[in-house]
Amino acid sequence: MTFPDEKFSDASAYADAYFSELARAAKSVDRGRVAAAVALLDKAYARRATLFVCGNGGSASISNHLACDHGKLISTDTDLLPRIQSLAANVEVITAIANDISYADVFTHQLRLNGSRGDVVMTVSSSGDSDNVVRAAQWGLDNGCEVIALTGFNGGRTAKLATVNLHVTADNYGVIEDVHQSLMHLMAQFIRQKRMSEALIKERKF
């Protein structure tokens, strides 16, 4: 069974079914693993390690959005200045590597240039099995980095490689990506509010 597994003729009924599936998928994420990922990121940001994040398609958009929110948002009203680089952001670099080397190396080549032991590699992939994100995760492990993998479907190879796997039990790309986006937001917001006073939290918009 997959979602949707029947034809809908009414958009409002599809909306109800979609949001129901989204709520179920969000509930499936292991909260202990969320806490572990947050702790890993919090420590990395505090020691000024770099988080490298990557993904394809919609997951590339989540990677770029994460670089924005985990940088600008977390640094607002806190003592943190996170170092974050989306490996999906520079189209000139990506196309040069893809054209001259291979698309499977578009992330690992950037990691070879900029990554260091003690950094963090985060992969965002619904399948968890795209060759370029799998190679990025493996590079991280081989070079002394912690690896966080956001996955869906059956988790793929990145789920097995990750230090922390945030897995969404769902079989619809939109639903999985929506939950990955929510995980990106909630991790940033939690780290930010953790380092703010109660009074300041009440004054600010998140």
pLDDT digits (tens, 9 = 90+) for 37-55: 999 999 999 999 999 999 9
Task: Say how far apart CA 29 and CA 138 lie, in whole Å.
Answer: 23
Strand ordering across the sheet containing 164-167: 83-86, 50-55, 120-124, 146-151, 164-167
Rounded to 10 degrees, the C-alpha dihedral 37/148/71/38 comes to 0
Q: Residue 189: its pLDDT value, please? A: 98
Q: Residue 93: its pLDDT value, please? A: 98
Percent of the chain with pLDDT over 90: 99
- Whether the per-residue pLDDT at 1 is higher than 90: the answer is no
- CB count in 10 Å sphere of residue 169: 18
Residue 55: alpha-carbon gap to chain centroid: 8
- From residue 69, how far is each of 64, 89, 147, 188, 206 by CA, in Å? 9, 14, 19, 7, 11
Q: How confident is the model at residue 201 (pLDDT cuts 50, 70, 90)?
A: very high
Q: Residue 127: its pLDDT value, please? A: 97
Task: Say how far apart CA 170 and CA 182 lie, in whole Å.
Answer: 15
Q: Residue 196: its pLDDT value, please? A: 97
Q: What is the pLDDT of residues 106-125, one digit of tens each?
A: 999 999 999 999 999 999 99
Q: Residue 116: its pLDDT value, please? A: 97
Per the structure block, which two tokens stand in for 37? Answer: 């990922």
Q: How confident is the model at residue 183 (pLDDT cuts 50, 70, 90)?
A: very high
Supply the pTM of this predicted model: 0.96
Q: What is the pLDDT of residues 6-27, one digit of tens each?
A: 999 999 999 999 999 999 999 9
Q: Residue 164: its pLDDT value, please? A: 98
Q: Which domains does the chain have, with CATH numbers?
A: 31-201 (3.40.50.10490)
Across 77-175, the runs of DSSP E, i.e. the strands, are 83-86, 120-124, 146-151, 164-167
Per the structure block, which two tokens stand in for 31? Answer: 């909260």
Burial class (CB in 10 A: 0-12, 13-18, 19+), 61: middle
Q: How confident is the model at residue 86 (pLDDT cuts 50, 70, 90)?
A: very high
Q: How confident is the model at residue 131 (pLDDT cuts 50, 70, 90)?
A: very high
